[in-house]
Structure 1
Amino acid sequence: MTEPAPGAGSDPAALTTTAVRDGDDWVIDGRKWFITGADGAAFFIVMARTNDDAATMFLVDAGTPGLTVGRHIGTMDHAFTGGHCEVTFERCRVPQEAVLGEAHRGFAHAQVRLAPARLTHCMRWLGLARRANDIMLGAVVERELFGSRLADLGLAQHLIAENEIDLAASRALIRTAAAVLDEGGRGGAETSIAKTFVSEAVNRVVDRSVQLCGARGVSHDLPLARFLAEIRPFRVYDGASEVHRWAIARRAVRRYERTHGAPR
């Protein structure tokens, strides 16, 4: 879905890649980038605009003429297999059978993936933050400074407690959102709240862990510095925190108006 400006990013409605009917086929033209896992993928799910206000998802095999996987975009994170690549479509012809779901229903079909995908990211990076916290705890109970263990100093204890609070709150929000999805709900609001909070909380947890480990924390003797680089983009991926906050606020206002009526 992600395209260079002025194309789609956090706003899918800005989609510029197009698919036009040509007989029994569709012809896709456009440019995507930051496509995670593109290098080595066997197929691509491609979102393309099929009329002024609708999009369609297509299942396009790798090697289809007109589909080209370009450069790896260098980023601060390195954990994703296949990198983050540019992908171009030039007169890429696919049959009607390549339509995924229904034509012109791409935006709606994408929502089926977006809510649970946010939670998979939350769970992945929460696990990394918990690992960072464990490394830090191992360090502070062994390190002695100013006549006591680092773990027994008040300022250190404050940072440790803040980590525990962020980790517990993140787990609770993920469980709440997952329960809504398990019950068949859309989970848009719950996953937006979880994604926004967890993406920022895990950054705080890893950053505090780096701080408490001192020079070792910023060195490559521990994996914490690498963790920090891997976790920072999460505030951008799957919708920037600012966009989710905008959506959360709009839902809150609509909920109030449904209950109390809009002011006159």
Structure 2
Amino acid sequence: MSSERASTIANSVETFVREQVVPFESDPRWGDHGPADELVQELRGLAREAGVLTPHILEDGSHLTHTETAKVLRATGLSPLGTLACNVMAPDEGNMYLLSQVGDAQIKERFLAPLVSGEARSAFFMTEPASEGGAGSDPSMMQTTCRLDGNHWVVNGRKAFITGAEGAKVGIVMARSIDPSSEGGACMFLVDLPDPAIQIDRVLDTIDNSMPGGHAVITINDLRIPVDQMLGEAGEGFKYAQVRLAPARLTHCSRWLGLAIRAQEIATDYACRRQAFGKPLVDHEGVGFMLAQNKIDLQACELMIDWCAGVLDTGDLGTTESSMAKTFVAETLFQIADRCVQCMGGTGVTGDSIVELLFREVRAFRIYDGPTEVHKWSLAKKIKREWRDANS
């Protein structure tokens, strides 16, 4: 059960998003590759004034529980700009969590503090171009390498779908070690951006456009990183990725659930006002039943998120639970978005409301943070393993 403090924070966030952020949804500074940093900083200034900037991290640096965070992030998600304004967007929110859990005092002061204050954005450099056989859903295929050279690590490789790389000031770079001391293991490094050794080849044109900087293809050429900018220990990068993985999957779910709730509100208002064949659309079962199913599914998504958050709050990594939650929520929110579009007819496929945007964003979410099929494959392997253990 979410605490009273989480409810208080979430209520303040919801009021802020509905009253101050929603009017910016038609701002021309929101382009094909996401909102411009000028717009993001303006919104964060408003959030600062309202006392809802980075609301999931308390003044003493501690985080709300995962269950509390889910409630707060749901409120930020009522607008796609709400997560940006409140500084809880991906990948920054997940990166902040990772650095708070693994980073030493120096890394926290230099790289984490600017993220928490909302002064900087970050990027997580892990995924690689599929056309070159690089790592995607299978991180063991990572081709980007790092080797120790005196008091620096030298990184070379290619990355793809790097969210927010354009305009980011903080980077977390993941590479496979070819150094004898940690050969074959993954390493994570913190870097200041921009860096001339990290070249943005192009920003991809994708179906979604809610994240500043879009999703970039990157070339890393002889990037030299001081040894004290390694996150944790050499060769332990995959372990640290697991620390970030489950919470980040879940916060994605919470944010998009917030936007789906708003889309349902918009579709409901449309169906109750729009007349057709002598009565409001909502009175036609074909429309009313879709909205009814959406209401059921929204509640199911909320329960799934809270269940997984409760597991994480026990200290468990929650790998299986977050995989289940991500799969269910992503697929269900897509169905909800599709019904909202259908209920609104031609209006639903225009940019006149965020309903069409939700449809595009959630379609991408079925792939981001692991495609549905990969999660189901992983769960099927676990089912088989459990059966074998029970019958051995």
Q: Fold conserved (TM > 0.5)?
A: yes
CA distance in 2, matches of 1:220, 1:121: 23
Instruction: Name which of 81, 100, 103 aligns with 2:234.
Output: 103
Aligned mates of 1:42, 1:147 — CA distance in 2: 57
8 Å CA contact 1:65, 1:93 repeated in 2: no
1:61-72 → structure 2 map (5 Å cutoff): 61-72=192-203
In structure 2, give the amino acid aligned to 1:47: M
| Contact residue 158 and residue 217 of structure 2 kept, 8 A | yes
Deviations 1:55-99 (A, max 9, x none): 111112224442223321111111001211122211111121121
Residue 237 of structure 2 aligns with an amino acid whose one-letter code is: G
Alignment match, 1:18:
145
- 2:341 paired with 1:210: yes
Distance 1:42 1:261 in 2: 53
In 2: Cα distance, 1:147 partner to 1:46 partner: 60
TM-score w.r.t. length of structure 1: 0.94
Deviations along 1:189-228, whole A, 9 cap, x unmatched? 1110110111111111111011011111122333322221
The answer for unaligned runs of 5 or more in structure 1 is none
Which residue among 81, 106, 120 is the counterpart of 2:251?
Answer: 120
Quick one: which amino acid aligns to residue 156 of structure 2? D
Q: Deviations over 1:116-152 (max 9, x none)?
A: 0001110111111111111111111112222322212
1:29 aligns with 2:156: yes
By percentage of residues, which structure has more strand?
1
Aligned to 2:303: 172
8 Å Cα contact 1:48/1:55 also seen in 2: yes
Query: Structure 2, unaligned stretches of length 5 or more?
Result: 1-125
Extract structure 1 runs of 4+ deviating beyond 4 A: none
Q: Is 1:9 aligned with 2:136?
A: yes
Q: Does 1:261 align with 2:391?
A: yes
- Tell me which moved more, 52-61 or 71-80: 52-61
Counterpart amino acid of residue 257 in structure 1: R
Aligned twin of 1:82: 213
Which has the higher mean CA deviation after the structures are superposed, 106-115 or 222-231? 222-231
- CA 1:155–1:39: 2 relative to 1, 3 Å: same
Q: Distance in 2 between matches of 1:42 and 1:225?
A: 31
Task: Name the amino acid aligned to 2:335.
Answer: R
Query: How far is 1:261 from its partner?
Result: 2.7
The aligned amino acid for 1:33 is A
> Could you tell me which residue of structure 2 aligns to residue 192 of structure 1?
323
* Match of residue 168 from structure 2: 41
1:58 and 1:100 in contact (8 A); partners too: yes
Conservation of the 8 A alpha-carbon contact between 2:168 and 2:194: no
Name 1:245's counterpart in structure 2: 376
State how far apart, in whole Å, the 1-side matches of 2:223 and 2:290 are: 53
Deviations 1:85-116 (A, max 9, x none): 12221111112112101100000110000110
Describe the superposition over 1:150-169 as per-residue Cα deviations: whole angstroms up to 9, x where unpaired. 21222222211221122111
Partner of 1:139: 270
Counterpart contact for 1:34–1:85, Cα < 8 Å: yes
Contact 2:164 2:214 in 1 (8 A): yes
TM-score (norm 2): 0.64
Aligned residues: 261
Match of 2:284 in 1: 153
- Report the 3-state secondary structure (helix = DSSP H, G, I; strand = E; otherwise coil) of the residue aligned with 1:100: coil
Alpha-carbon spacing, 1:150–1:11, altered in 2? closer, same or farther (3 Å): same
Note if contact 1:235-1:241 (Cα within 8 Å) is conserved in structure 2.
yes
